[in-house]
Amino acid sequence: MKKIKNEAALSKKAIQVGENYALKRGYHGFSATMSANEKTEAIYRLLVLDKLIVGLPADKEDLPSMKHKLALWIQKHLPKDDPLLK
């Protein structure tokens, strides 16, 4: 897995965008006490279910890999002039 620039910031942005996507889709499972790791996994699984990202192999499905996938996903959907891409 190749490290990308601003991966932590991109993952954080992906969680924000993914949470909005999930809420618009009708998912009401997010709570104020839910950790970022739990949100990451829920959003990752929702995006895989909706076929917006390709799922990881079962033996490589861990939190850092999920965060990396979310960072790649949001990187493709941000405008080219977004400061996170520089």
CATH of the domain at 15: 1.20.120.1930
For 37-53, how does the pLDDT look when each residue is reduced to its tens digit (9 = 90+)? 999 999 999 999 999 99
* Predicted confidence (pLDDT) at residue 74 exceeds the cutoff of 90: yes
Q: Is residue 43 part of a domain?
A: yes
Q: Are 66 and 44 in contact (CB under 8 A)?
A: yes
Residue 15 pLDDT class (50, 70, 90 cuts)? very high
Report residue 11: phi and psi, to 5°: -65, -40
In a domain, 67, yes or no: yes
Q: What phi, psi does 46 have (nearest 5°)?
A: -65, -45
> What does pTM read for this prediction?
0.90
Q: Which residues contact 46 (CB under 8 A, 6 or more apart)?
A: 18, 21, 22, 25, 27
pLDDT band at 85 (very low <50, low <70, confident <90, very high): confident
For residue 55, what is the DSSP state? Answer: P
* Token duo for residue 17: 């965008």
Confidence band (pLDDT; 50, 70, 90) for 25? Answer: very high
Residue 83 covered by a domain: no
Q: Could you list the residue range(s) of the whole structural domain that residue 65 is in?
A: 7-76
